[in-house]
Amino acid sequence: MSEYRAPLKEMRFVMQELAGLDQVVSLPGCEEATPDVVDAILEEAARFAGEVLSPLNRVGDRDGAKWKDTVVTTSPGFKEAYRQFVDNGWNGLGCDPEFGGQGLPKLLSTAVSEMWKASNHAFSLCPMLTQGAIEALMIAGTDEQKAAYLPNLVSGEWTGTMNLTEPSAGSDLAAVRSRAEPVGDGTYRIFGQKIFITYGEHDMTDNIVHLVLARTPNAPEGVKGISLFVVPKFLLKADGTPGERNDVYCVSIEHKLGIHGSPTAVLAFGDHGGAIGTLVGEENRGLEYMFIMMNAARFNVGLEGLGDAERAYQRAVTYAKDRVQGTEVGVRGGPKVPIIKHPDVRRMLLSMRARIEAMRALAYVTAAAQDNAHASQDAAAREKARAFADLLIPVVKGWSTESAIDIASLGVQVHGGMGYIEETGAAQHLRDARITAIYEGTTAIQANDLIGRKIAREKGATIMAVIADMRAAATQLDGDLAAIGARQNAAVDALERAVLWIVANFSTDPKAAHAGAVPFLHLFGIVAGGWQMGRAAVVARNKMVAGGNDPFWAAKLATTRFYADHFLTQAEGLAESVVAGATGALALADDSF
């Protein structure tokens, strides 16, 4: 079975030419990311992903995490791989140097994260949740909490979790019923049960730091009455090391369709007198703080979609080149050929590859915007970058994950009947990818956030500025790229039509607007991806005009043309679904379903 190989050439191209690596590393605090450092990190991450994490991917799927008497044992090899991960400093790559991190740009850590997710989705979930806990404590934690927890979270010696969901409160966090009873000195006893807690219990570290949503006794009902608490698995001794076991236990782990190597825990807080926790930030602002974790997690789940798609594509290409079946179309009496010679197999592989390139470009450009939002010295530039990143994160999450499911499914199709057999590995990518469109906010939640908070609330100001950038970029698609430019212009017109309709109708007909929210998310993702593909094509064309004969440039033009012909052409239909699709979606009576 083939192992994952990081597409370093493509990654470097996107980082440099589309995401603006040179500009990012010029930002204050990013100076350490010299070209030599960036290359060394990418090369070593690719080695670790391919040689350490990838071989464990199948192991985790086959021999998933096990639960017995509140104790969870991770898949064979995971504990040892995590130790290497921590010892090599990977966990603190983008974290604040004040707490032991390396302070490297989000753009670089995004490329590295893609490698973890592509090589071993289940393993990558543990450090991903830890990063979210770090961000929440950095912004809302007290000085004492930061000193107590951040050094070990940043290093990866301890891991973090986010505890939102309860048996009676799925995505509706207003229904959270876990309670926090004050006992003095800022300490609380936490009672309740949380479900779907990724790496809520495991054997890879000697402490787990849970961030938990709960209600204090006099809290108002609804989301305005939720507070956030730090609840460690082991309480800390005076010297900061783990001591007495806290009253939080794993009562089971879920049996899932995929990501078997990632334990998804049911945690019980307070069955033996109350789990000790401390308040993060101000009382009743917990959901606001938790959204810090959720926003970071949503971007990273989009990278999971990208990683699963890349891995499925690599496996499909390997199989298509090796599998000999049938004669080449139009060659009468010819020899049997590898299936990559067959037109429809090529179409499927290009459908996978072109979308992966678009997804990667959009994610990396969004990562660079987050770097600028954090570190630019110009206030207006920071605000513009923040607005852009906020607009794109639900698209990176929603569109990339939905695309990944289809791409992984195509990977199975390329394998034919063998794709349906677990031993080939193709089916695992489909099973693993399926969760990405659900957790950290379903596709509909991302889409509703996009049309409501990110577009209607500001009357479309940010997205219209992005549309203007798209139109400006399309002017460079001339000459031999004119056909791509025509597709892009038509797609941007469709996007603008849908945006104007949402702005005009969101308040007066909210049901109609929400009925078209997911089609709009797909529309925006496709057009934004095409925008980045068009920019890439211009770079490739210019390189070739200047005498560059690297096959990489011709391949970039080919995938961009395929994307324009097969995906940008979907924009007008999706726009029609947005502006006119509500009638059918809302017409059927409940009893008629």
Q: For residues 135 and 292, is the Cβ–Cβ distance under 8 A?
A: yes
Residue 503 in contact with residue 581, Cβ under 8 Å? no
Statement to judge: residues 201 and 101 lie in one domain: no
Q: What is the pLDDT of residue 170?
A: 67
Q: What are the Cα distances from residue 125, in Å, to 101, 119, 432, 490?
A: 19, 12, 12, 39
Q: Of 155, 174, 191, which one is at a domain's C-terminal end?
A: 155
452 domain residue, yes or no? yes
pLDDT at 185 over 90: no
For the chain, what percent of residues have pLDDT higher than 70?
A: 99
539 plus 453 within the same structural domain: yes
Phi-psi region of 479 (alpha: psi -120 to 50; beta: other; left: phi over 0): left
Looking at the structure, tell me whether residues 15 and 151 fall in a common domain.
yes
Residue 46 in any domain: the answer is yes
**Residue 15 lies in domain:** 8-155
The 10s digit of each residue's pLDDT in 417-427 is 999 999 999 99
- The pLDDT value recorded for residue 560 is 98
| Domain identity same for 18 and 128 | yes
Nearest to 61 by CA among 10, 8, 119: 119
Total domains in the chain come to 3
- What's the gap between Cα 262 and its chain centre? 16
User: Are 537 and 557 a contacting pair, CB within 8 Å?
Assistant: yes
CATH of the domain at 107: 1.10.540.10
pLDDT per residue over 393-419, tens digit each?
Answer: 999 999 999 999 999 999 999 999 999
Does 483 score more than 90 pLDDT?
yes
**Digit-coded pLDDT (tens) for 85-140:** 999 999 999 999 999 999 999 999 999 999 999 999 999 999 999 999 999 999 99
The pLDDT of residue 348 is: 98
25-39 pLDDT, tens digit per residue, is: 999 999 889 999 999
Statement to judge: residues 87 and 202 lie in one domain: no
Residues in the chain: 593
- CA triplet 163, 164, 166: central angle to 5 degrees? 105
- Residues 588, 591, 593, CA angle at the centre, nearest 5°? 60
- Residues 504, 568, single domain; the answer is yes
43 inside domain:
yes
Q: Kindly report the average pLDDT of the chain as a whole number.
A: 96
Q: Take residue 377 and report the two structure tokens written for it.
A: 């010295």
Position 175 confidence tier, pLDDT thresholds 50, 70, 90: confident
> Which residue among 10, 135, 166, 440 is the active-site one?
440
Total-model pTM: 0.97
In a domain, 28, yes or no: yes
Domain assignment of residue 146, yes or no: yes
What's the rounded Cα separation, in Å, for the pair 248 and 268? 6
Give yes or no for a contact between 195 and 222, defined as CB atoms under 8 angstroms apart. Answer: no
Give the end of a domain, one of 100, 124, 155. Answer: 155
DSSP 548-567: ---HHHHHHHHHHHHHHHHT
**pLDDT 10s digits, 130-170:** 999 999 999 999 999 999 999 999 999 999 999 999 997 76
Secondary structure (3-state) at 520:
helix
If one counts every other C-beta atom within 10 angstroms of the C-beta of residue 494, the result is: 23
300 within some domain: no
Query: Across the strands, what pairs with 245?
Result: 234
139 with 175, same domain: the answer is no
Quick count: other Cβ atoms within 10 Å of Cβ 87? 11
What number is the average pLDDT over the span 564-569? 98
- Whether residue 546 sits in one domain with residue 525: yes
- Please report which confidence band the pLDDT of residue 566 belongs to, taking 50, 70 and 90 as the band edges: very high
Q: How far is CA 155 from the centre of its chain?
A: 22
Rounded distance, CA 341 to CA 113, Å? 34
Q: What is the pLDDT of residues 212-270, one digit of tens each?
A: 999 999 999 888 899 999 999 999 999 999 999 999 999 999 999 999 999 999 999 99
Q: Locate 52 and state its tokens.
A: 């350490």
Mean of pLDDT values over 318-336: 94
Q: Are the beta carbons of 421 and 300 closer than 8 angstroms?
A: no
Pairing of strands 208-214, 159-163: parallel
With beta carbons less than 8 A apart as the criterion, state whether 83 and 53 touch.
no
Task: Flag whether pLDDT at 370 surpasses 80.
Answer: yes
Torsion of CA 37, 356, 9, 121, to 10 degrees: 50
- Cα–Cα distance, 149 to 166 (Å, whole number): 25
Q: Are residue 166 and residue 195 in the same domain, yes or no?
A: yes
Residues 232 and 213 in one domain: yes
483 in any annotated domain: yes
Instruction: Quick: pLDDT tens for 36-90.
Output: 999 999 999 999 999 999 999 999 999 999 999 999 999 999 999 999 999 999 9
Q: What is the pLDDT at residue 333?
A: 87
Answer yes or no: is 377 within a domain: no
282 is catalytic: no
Task: Say yes or no: 57 and 181 in one domain.
Answer: no
Query: Among 101, 126, 155, where does a domain finish?
Result: 155
Q: Is 185 exposed, middle or buried (0-12, 13-18, 19+ CB in 10 A)?
A: exposed
- pLDDT for the residue 261: 98
Does 108 share its domain with 180?
A: no
**What is the tens place of the pLDDT at every residue in 415-459?**
999 999 999 999 999 999 999 999 999 999 999 999 999 999 999
Q: Which residue has the higher pLDDT, 300 or 291?
A: 300
